[in-house]
Amino acid sequence: MSDSPPIQSDDWDSVRAACLAFPKQFKTLLLATTDADGKPNASYAPYLNIGGWFYIYISGLAQHTQNIQVSKRASILFIENEEMAEHPFVRKRLTFDCSVTEIYRPSPQFSETLDRFQDMFGHLMKTLRNLADFHLFCLSPEEANFVLGFGQAYRFSGEELTLITHRNQKGHTPLKRDVE
């Protein structure tokens, strides 16, 4: 069970701090993409967060890479481990809708970023960085949704995701029962 205290909906600084801290507990992100026909694909990738952008280095043989190259869009998800969650229905989660840009090999940013990948993920990166089918992508968040629990769902939007709104001020809607 998670031991972090609930955040009050009007404590925007705490909500923002929790949102920024949440991905730091993960070395990988869950990745959702679609192909040209809209067929979805769910996968994952190791990542780096540099300046609020998410970088992934993935094989061109993978469906998610082909999808990203066509659509230039992806959604990423960070989700609390089931063992840590209060309940399976109340797992903390953070989703980003992102535009995607490829960082090409001749760019100094490519080498600098892969050096950071090697620092983070070790010796395997020496091998992977020399495989021609691998591509480096920068995922730029355009909107985020952060769920901390029931009644604690927030939308982040605007430049640098600085606008925070409560997802639903009125709460869930109960079913209307027919009177017999």
Kindly report the number of other CB atoms within 10 A of residue 125's CB atom: 18
Instruction: Note the pLDDT tens digit of each residue in 55-82.
Output: 999 999 999 999 999 999 999 999 999 9
* Cα separations in angstroms, 29 against 36, 52, 59, 151, 178: 23, 14, 15, 25, 44
CA distance 3 to 131: 42
CA distance 128 to 34: 25
Write down the pLDDT at residue 174. 60
Kindly report the backbone phi and psi dihedral angles of residue 20, in degrees, each rounded to the nearest multiple of 5, phi listed first: -70, -35
State yes or no: pLDDT of 30 exceeds 60. yes
Question: 140, 138, 139, 115: which is closest to 128 by C-alpha?
Answer: 115
In a domain? residue 110: yes
Average pLDDT in the chain: 89
In a domain? residue 115: yes
pLDDT band at 173 (very low <50, low <70, confident <90, very high): low
Write down the pLDDT at residue 4. 42
Q: Can you name the residues that pair with 31 across neighbouring β-strands?
A: 43, 76
CA distance 121 to 81: 21
In a domain? residue 180: no
State yes or no: pLDDT of 177 exceeds 80. no
pTM: 0.86
> Tell me, what CATH number does 21's domain have?
2.30.110.10
Question: 60, 57, 33, 53: which is closest to 45 by C-alpha?
Answer: 57
> What is the number of domains present in the chain?
1
* Cα separations in angstroms, 7 against 101, 118, 121: 34, 36, 33
In a domain? residue 171: no
In a domain? residue 156: yes
CA distance 2 to 88: 12
In a domain? residue 172: no
CA distance 125 to 90: 36
Instruction: Note the pLDDT tens digit of each residue in 78-135.
Output: 999 999 998 999 899 999 999 999 999 999 999 999 999 999 999 999 999 999 999 9
In a domain? residue 179: no
In a domain? residue 175: no
User: In terms of residue numbers, what domain contains 67?
Assistant: 12-166
Write down the pLDDT at residue 107. 95
